[in-house]
Amino acid sequence: MVKLYAMSILYKNTNSAQWLKAAYDLQTFSFFQRGSVQEFMAFVSKTIVERTQTAARQSVKEGEYMCHVYVRGDNLAGVIISDHEYPQRVSHTLITKVLDEFAQKYPPSSWPTATEASISFNQINTYLAKYQNPREADAMTKIQEELDETKIILHNTIEAVLERGEKLDDLVAKSEGLSTQSKAFYKTARKTNSCCNFG
């Protein structure tokens, strides 16, 4: 399915990343799980930004999902989580575009102190909605050529992005951003393949 689930803008400090803005489209997830899915996507976005070098692009495949990340030279970072059928180059072009627009509106000096609440950048929602259909998104013909020459590093699992010795399970368990409910969801999702049992 061609689908964008989440798009976030973060600022990468030396040790960690902080949120500047995020948008989600989780209609395709079942109602009672949406909250947890959103928490989990936020968690993954942050984790991956923290493990991406400055001025680098990465694309990570995890099951049916793709996570695209771009950290600019000035440490402004963008993440898109999409379905694996969503064209990769469109995702990266979109990140570039959104980050440029964001940087125009908010000067780099404001990033280290900004919070999600202090920023109003509704364009991110508009873009998420508009780019659900890459055929209709504007200037599609140009997209193919426009992308800068930064090479995209591809990974086949999230684990591959993590540093040596790190385990996703441990990160989930330690995370403060995930509620106990979401952690339980994560555990059950790992343990049982939910479509195969009655659950």
Partner 1 sequence: MHDDIFPAAEKILTDIENIFKRDKLLKDFEIVPVTVGENKSPVLHAEHTLGLQEWCVRHLYVHVYHKVMNLKRQQRLRREDPSVLSRLLLGGVLLNPDCTTLWNIRREFVVLGRFDPLTELHINAITLSRRPKSAESFVYRRWILKRMTAEPLESATLSSIIEEELQVSLMAADRYANNYHAWNHRMWVMSHIPQAQDKFYDEWTTSEIWVSKHVSEHSGLQYREFLLNQVDQHLEHTDYCLKFQSSLESFLSPLKHSIFNSDFSKHSTVSQRLYQSFVDLLDKKESCSQCPMNCKENNFMLQIGFLAYELLLVTDLIHLYPGHEALWCHRRFVLFCFFSLSKKISCNSTKESDIMDGIPLPKTQKLCVLEIDSDKCFLWWLVMQHEDALIKDCVIKTTEESYQTKLALRHEKWIKSVLICKENLSCRTQSVS
Partner 2 sequence: MLQSFNCLITLFFFSLQLRRVFMEEEALINKKLPKELLLRIFSWLDVVSLCRCAQVSKSWNILALDGSNWQRIDLFDFQRDVEGPVIENISRRCGGFLRKLSLKGCQSIADGSMKLFAQLCNNVEDLNLDGCKKISDSTCQALSKHCPKLQRLDLRSCIEITDLSLKVLADGCPALTHINIAWCENVTQNGIEALARGCRKLRSFMCMGCARVNDSAITVLAEHCPNLEVVNLSGCVNITDESVLRLAENCHGLHYLCLSGCTMLSDASLIVLAQQCHLLSTLEVAGCSQFTDAGFQALARSCRLLEKMDLEECILITDTTLMHLGMGCPRLEKLSLSHCELITDEGIRHLGMSPCAAENLTVLELDNCPLITDASLDNLVSCHNLQRIDLYDCQLITHTGIRRLRSNLPNILVHAYFAPATPPPAVGSTRQRVCRCCAIL
Q: How far is CA 36 from CA 10, 16, 138, in A?
A: 20, 22, 33
- Give CA–CA dist 188/194, Å, rounded: 8
Interface residue with partner 2 among 14, 141, 156, 193 (CB under 8 A) is: 193
Region from 70-78, 100-108, 165-173, 188-196 binding partner 2, contact rule CB under 8 A:
188-196
Residue 118 Cα distances to 111, 157, 188, angstroms = 11, 34, 36
- Least Å distance between CB 191 and partner 2? 13
Query: Which residue from 1, 117, 139, 195 is in contact with partner 2, where contact means CB under 8 A?
Result: 195
The least CB distance from residue 17 to partner 1, in Å, is 29
What is the x/- site pattern for partner 2, positions 138-177, by CB under 8 A? ----------------------------------------
Nearest distance in Å: CB 66, partner 2 = 19
Under a CB-based contact definition with an 8 Å cutoff, are residues 89 and 57 in contact? Answer: no
Which residue, 165 or 199, has its beta carbon nearer to partner 1? 199
C-alpha of 46 from chain center: 8
CB of 196 to partner 2, least distance (A): 5
Q: CA-CA distance, 153 to 143, in Å (whole number)?
A: 19
Distance in angstroms (rounded) separating the CA atoms of residues 29 and 185: 13
**Which residues contact residue 69 at a Cβ distance below 8 angstroms, ignoring those fewer than 6 apart?**
45, 48, 49, 52, 57, 58, 59, 60, 77, 78, 79, 80, 95
CB nearer to partner 1: give 32 or 115: 32
Q: Which does 28 bind (CB under 5 to 8 A by kind): partner 1, partner 2, none?
A: partner 1
Token pair listed for 122: 């509704």
Of residues 65 through 124, those in contact with partner 1 by CB under 8 A are: 85, 87
The residues binding partner 1 (CB under 8 A) are 1-3, 28, 30-33, 85, 87, 132-135, 140, 184-185, 188-189, 194, 197-199
